[in-house]
Structure 1
Amino acid sequence: MSGHKGKILVVDDEASIRRILQTRLEMIGYDVVKAKDGEEALLAFRREAPDLIVLDVMMPKLDGYGVCQEIRKQSDVPIIMLTALADVAERIAGLNIGADDYMTKPFSPKELEARIACILRRLLQKTSVNVIDNFSLIHLGNLKIDTSKRQVYKNEQRIRLTDVEFNLLELLVSHSGKVFSRLEILQQLWGFVPETNADTRVVDVHISRLRTKIESDPNLPELIVTARGSGYFFPRIISKRAGITEKYD
């Protein structure tokens, strides 16, 4: 990461929010770059290569959804979206196009700082080898998971996963057979306890996106299975040899 603790791109058309976030984030050691609209955000993203983006949804010229879509064509940089929209379906629309997290305005700057720290901490861990039970390669049918390089291949073609999507897959695979509730997944990956049931919808969106990318038939999932009324799990891995995990039941 660049700078001290990382470089954050703050994108919001409200000058007061840009100013407050810049002051608070710089006080705790981040480098901060600001943009006031979507077009300026894309220019800043290409010029500054930030480690994380805080992105408002409702902006002139190009809204946050459009910015997120453009960035996802070329980068997996973590994106936290800010939205004033009250409707849950609207708020999670950003997740469907590639955002890692969202917060609803008005929001707590302290909570935003905690979520940024959690995401960047996991991003930093990419530089170290992460092996599940000393096995870094996992083969499951046409799917290959390389936990040391944090890469996933389907039919020998690499699948682009966001940081959160890979963390979610890794969590389920490394505890194969264990059912994780939505609350447990939120706590494990985002590091916070949701205040409302709507917040747990974040998990469902990421599960759906991950299934679309790795399942042969996302409508009949075989890898990320729903435990009705409980949560999600990865089928129990039952055979390992030569550093490669091969089977599941």
Structure 2
Amino acid sequence: MSSSTFSDPDHRPRILVMDDEEQIRDITRAMLEKFGFDTTLAEDGEEAIEKFRNAQEEDRPFQGVLLDLTIPGGMGGKETCERILALDPHASIIVSSGDSEGSLKNEFTKYGFKGILPKPYRIADLKKAVEDLIHPGD
């Protein structure tokens, strides 16, 4: 999928990215926008939920959400996922984590996530995870 696939700004898939590290948010946005995704950033769960809710109210919903599992001092991926799914039970959410040994690795679906993206991730891994999320089975 090239960036020209989503060249019309009104029809680009919208992705919400939550990560507590500004550098990761910025790099992730740059990578996603390179592939034509309209990307919105959030620093923690509260901000992600607010942006998700606002997008619904504006009838501009997100097609995918990427949540960092651990947000020091804030709401992390599990609780954020639960609260987003309460707003939209069909939300497509990926969890991103640097904890490769955690229980989430093999049980992410029981928490409502549709995918997992281990950190650090490469651009190809991010692209595939997001494309699989918004176009399952393609």
TM-score (norm 2): 0.80
Distance in 2, Cα, partners of 1:117 & 1:90:
21
1:109 shift after superposition: 2.2
What residue number does 1:52 align with? Answer: 64
**Aligned 1:5-24 pairs, distance under 5 A:** 5-24=12-31
Q: Supply the AA of the counterpart residue of 2:78.
A: Y
Alignment check: 8 A CA contact 2:67 2:93 kept = yes
Say what the alpha-carbon RMSD is for the aligned residues: 1.8
Distance in 1, Cα, partners of 2:128 & 2:134:
10
Q: Supply the AA of the counterpart residue of 2:85.
A: R
Matched residue count: 123
% same residue: 27
Q: Supply the AA of the counterpart residue of 1:34.
A: L
- CA displacement 1:11-55 (0-9 Å, x = unmatched): 000111110111121122111100001111100111122110011
What residue number does 1:68 align with? Answer: 81
Alignment check: 8 A CA contact 1:57 1:63 kept = yes
Q: Supply the AA of the counterpart residue of 1:99.
A: F
Distance in 2, Cα, partners of 1:23 & 1:93:
29
Higher helix content, 1 or 2: 2
Q: Supply the AA of the counterpart residue of 2:65.
A: I
**Aligned 1:71-220 pairs, distance under 5 A:** 71-75=84-88, 76-122=90-136, 189=137
Structure possessing the higher radius of gyration over alpha carbons: 1
1:53 is paired with a residue whose SS is strand
**Structure 2: runs of 5 or more not aligned:** 1-8, 56-60
- CA displacement 1:142-161 (0-9 Å, x = unmatched): xxxxxxxxxxxxxxxxxxxx
Distance in 1, Cα, partners of 2:79 & 2:46:
10
- CA displacement 1:92-118 (0-9 Å, x = unmatched): 443211000001111112211112112
1:91 shift after superposition: 2.6
Distance in 2, Cα, partners of 1:10 & 1:40:
11
Higher relative contact order (CA 8 A, sep 6+): 2
TM-score (norm 1): 0.46
Distance in 2, Cα, partners of 1:92 & 1:64:
16
Alignment check: 8 A CA contact 1:10 1:34 kept = yes
